[in-house]
Amino acid sequence: MPARRKTASRTATKPKPEPSKPLPLPFPEAVRRAVRAIPRGEVRSYAQVALYAGRPGAARGVGRELKTLENVPWWRVLRADGTLAPAVAVEQARRLRAEGVRLEGEGTRWRVKR
């Protein structure tokens, strides 16, 4: 049997891939992480969540994602002027007060006291 000869492919070392930036998270997952990072008793605006999620200017997108995401404290996210969205204001106000956030208002018109 003839002797095997070494081929270049077996002895050559493969070049190491250059380090690259990690791929950005999909927007829904980035929003989930940003909202879960809000401490109990604190609030953030939709715009702040978008910024923390790596998509500045996507405040409306945050609102859309919060409608579909499960197991996130959605009530900690509110409008930039400190008001609660009328569609969920009563439930959001109840949950925020339970966490110690001071609110003023009634019915569907609520604002966080600063």
Q: pLDDT tens digit string along 31-42? A: 999 999 999 999
Dihedral sign from CA coordinates of 30, 28, 26, 82: negative
Q: Is 41 left (phi over 0), alpha (psi -120 to 50) or beta?
A: left
**pLDDT by residue (tens digit) across 48-75?**
999 999 999 999 999 999 999 999 999 9
Which domains, from first to last, does the chain contain? Answer: 25-112 (1.10.10.10)
Half-sphere CA count of 10, side-chain side, radius 13 A: 4
**CA 54 to chain centroid:** 9
42: phi then psi, degrees, rounded to nearest 5: -120, 160
What was the pLDDT predicted at 93? 94
